[in-house]
């Protein structure tokens, strides 16, 4: 039987506190096998019916990486147009991806046609396949942080375009694009909070009783 002591629990809480969405990376390469190790951990995550619908693409090809960066720029410029006035000015100052600097690019998909798990748990909620993939991403996110490695989730992308750039099957739904590398700085607060965009809400504000 495995057990965890108080010291471990305290450190685990610190891991949650210090996990950050990272957009500012040092360009130094990651040790060989880092992405594969993070994917291994992601594959230990819970999934509906043990369907394991996660699919990973380690994006190494320079032309494909460049195409993703171009798509981000396009989508981010569109996103800016949805704001006006002071919010728009503030949005324009935000750094919302570290695609240029991060040595690791990992695209994560959900296999919507997966037969693993024989449909258990998802008859009324097919979106649980997507949720399972998100759970896998969060596992990798925390595991990376424990090794001093940062992950930045980029969703300011056109999902169909990402599928096209990476030439993956049509049944693969795009879930997230992860920039992975050593962070420039360790932060105990979200960057969006430091930039005065939004603040973290206390749990009592998002909990009700019935
Ligand atoms: C599904 C999803 C999608 C995105 C994000 C997160 C998640 C869960 N986040 C990161 C997000 O801004 C960040 O998690 C919050 O600001 C809280 O900060 P910490 O993660 O605690 O550092 C994010 N950040 C960013 O700069 N560009 C992006 O495109 C996205 N997209």
State in Å: Cα 123 to ligand 1 middle. Answer: 30
CA of 115 to the centre of ligand 1 (A): 31
Ligand 1 atom 6, closest CA: 153
In this structure, which topology does domain 21-184 adopt according to CATH? NADH Oxidase (3.40.109)
- CB of 94 sitting under 6 A from ligand 1: no
pLDDT of residue 111: 98
State the closest ligand 1 atom to the C-alpha of 193, by its place in the atom list counted from 1. 16
φ and ψ of 137, to 5 deg: -65, -40
As a whole number of angstroms, the distance between CA 115 and CA 62 comes to 33
Every domain of the chain and the residues it spans: 21-184
Instruction: Find the 130 Cα to ligand 1 centroid distance in Å.
Output: 17
Atom number, ligand 1, closest to the C-alpha of residue 200: 17
DSSP secondary structure string for all residues of the chain: -----HHHHHHHHHHHHH--B---B--PPPPTTHHHHHHHHHTTS--GGG---EEEEE---HHHHHHHHHHHHHHHHHHHHT--HHHHHHHHH-----TTT-SEEEEEEEETT--TTTTTT-SS-TTHHHHHHHHHHHHHHHHHHHTT-EEEEE--S-HHHHHHHHT--TTEEEEEEEEEE-BSS--SS-HHHHTTS--PPPGGGG----
* Binned average pLDDT, 10 residues per bin, the chain of 210 residues: 96 98 97 98 98 98 98 98 98 98 98 98 98 98 98 98 98 98 96 97 97
* The overall pTM is greater than 0.80: yes
Cα(147) to ligand 1 centroid in Å equals 20
Residue 200 confidence (pLDDT): 96
- Residue 9 to residues 5, 73, 131: CA-CA distances in angstroms? 6, 41, 26
192 pocket-lining for ligand 1 (C-beta < 6 Å):
yes
């Amino acid at each position: 039987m495995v057990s965890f002591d108080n010291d471990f629990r305290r450190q685990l809480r610190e891991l949650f506190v210090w996990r950050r969405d990272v957009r500012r990376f040092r360009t130094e390469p990651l040790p060989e096998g880092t992405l594969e190790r993070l994917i291994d951990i992601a594959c230990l995550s819970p999934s509906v019916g043990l369907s394991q619908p996660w699919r990973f693409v380690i994006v190494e090809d320079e032309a494909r990486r460049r195409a993703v960066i171009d798509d981000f720029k396009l989508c981010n410029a569109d996103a800016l147009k949805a704001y006006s006035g002071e919010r728009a000015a503030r949005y324009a100052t935000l750094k919302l991806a570290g695609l240029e600097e991060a040595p690791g690019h990992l695209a994560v998909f959900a296999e919507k046609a997966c037969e693993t798990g024989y449909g258990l748990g998802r008859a009324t909620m097919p979106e649980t396949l997507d949720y399972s993939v998100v759970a896998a991403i969060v596992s990798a996110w925390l595991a990376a942080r424990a090794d001093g490695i940062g992950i930045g989730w980029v969703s300011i992308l056109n999902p169909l375009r990402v599928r096209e750039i990476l030439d993956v099957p049509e049944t693969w739904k795009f879930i997230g694009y992860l920039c992975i590398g050593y962070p420039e700085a360790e932060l105990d607060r979200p960057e969006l909070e430091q930039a005065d965009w939004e603040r973290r809400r206390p749990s009592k504000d998002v909990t009700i009783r019935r």
